[in-house]
Structure formats: structure tokens, C-alpha cells
Amino acid sequence: MFKTVVCVSGGGTNLQAILDAIDSGRITNTEIMAVISNNAKAYALERARNHNIPALCMSPKRYPDREAFNAAFTEKMKELNPDLIVLAGFLVAIPPAMVDAFEGRIINIHPALIPSFCGVGYYGLHVHEKALEYGVKVTGATVHFVDKGMDTGRIISQKAVYVQEGDTPEVLQRRVMEEAEWVLLPRAIDDIANGRIQLPEKKA
């Protein structure tokens, strides 16, 4: 089984999409070995517990500085030693040491068509606010590998979603999740777990 850790900061709708896809057989050969959140109150942790998956909170606020958090977070991930790390709405920058340790084995879902509306400050509802403010007619979501930049890693897949007349950021956010994010992320995990997308050899 392909062992996966999912990192999430909030409600965990993308996590739920992954769990549903595993339950329905749309993702095969995959075990979610842990869910990690930086937010102790994140409903994503409850979703994990409901599936008997270890739910861990690692918050930067619990450490004296970001350096100490980065070291502890990286060490915990090395201890878990997953085959794949999935960032599913995770609002914490991945430590460079973790990127090095799991090079080519961390993926992220972004709620826009990279390189549009991405980078520092572009997360959550703000992405959709900016898309509507700019007046784009097509938006969507992107699954990409994580490198040491912000939304700069190699793109795995994208799916377009049309903006409709009268969309609010909240309505657009929901449509992008339903039509793109919840489709792309489970498919990418299944493709990786079953060798259709090749990953580099795991580091010792």
C-alpha cells in the first residue's frame, strides 16, 4: 500500500474527497497513515478520527520560533516516512529541509490555474476574490509538486471552471472545489500510487 500523509489547515473538504475516493475505489493502493493540521480546532482532524486515522496537530504557535517548528515538523514527517505528502488546504510553508528530504514526493492543490492567482498571499477565498476582481472568464484548480518556492513546482494536472454571471467569491470557491479540486486531487493520488506518475526514489 502506498502510504500517504495529508496536511490540512481547515475544514478538510479536500481530505473528505480523498477519503470518499478511497472508500469508493476511485483511489486504490493507498493508505492515509496520518492527517496533520496546524490548527487544533480544524474539522479535518475530526474527519480523520471518524476514519480511524491518526490525527496530529503541529502548530507553529507551540514552538519558540519558526526554526524550532520547522525542525520538529520535518522530524515528525521523517518519523512517519510516507511515500507521499499531500497538502490539501495547508496554510503553512513547507520547511526547505522537508522539501529536500521528500523531494518530488510532496503535492499541493491550488484553487486557480497556475501561474494565475498564485504565490504569496493567494490562498483560500482571496484567490477567488482576486479572480472575480480581475474579471477572468475561466478559472479552475491545479495540482502541482511542491518545491522551495510558493506555487512554483511542476504542474501535474489542471482543470478549468467557468466563471458565471453573478458569482460571488463564495459561490465560485464552491464550484471550483466541486468541479475541479475534488476531481483532480484524488485522481493525482491514484495515478501516483499506481505508478502512472513516476516519483523519484525515496531518500534513505
| Residue positions annotated with a catalytic role | 110
Q: Grid cell 495529508 — which residue?
A: 6
Pairing mode, strands 106-110 and 138-145: antiparallel
Q: CA-CA distance, 178 to 13, in Å (whole number)?
A: 10
Q: Grid cell 476511485 — which residue?
A: 26
Contact 109, 142 (CB under 8 A): yes
Class of residue 115 by CB neighbours under 10 A (exposed 0-12, middle 13-18, buried 19+): exposed
**Grid cell of 81 as nine digits:** 516516512
- Of the candidates 19, 94, 74, the one whose C-alpha atom is nearest the C-alpha of residue 49 is 19
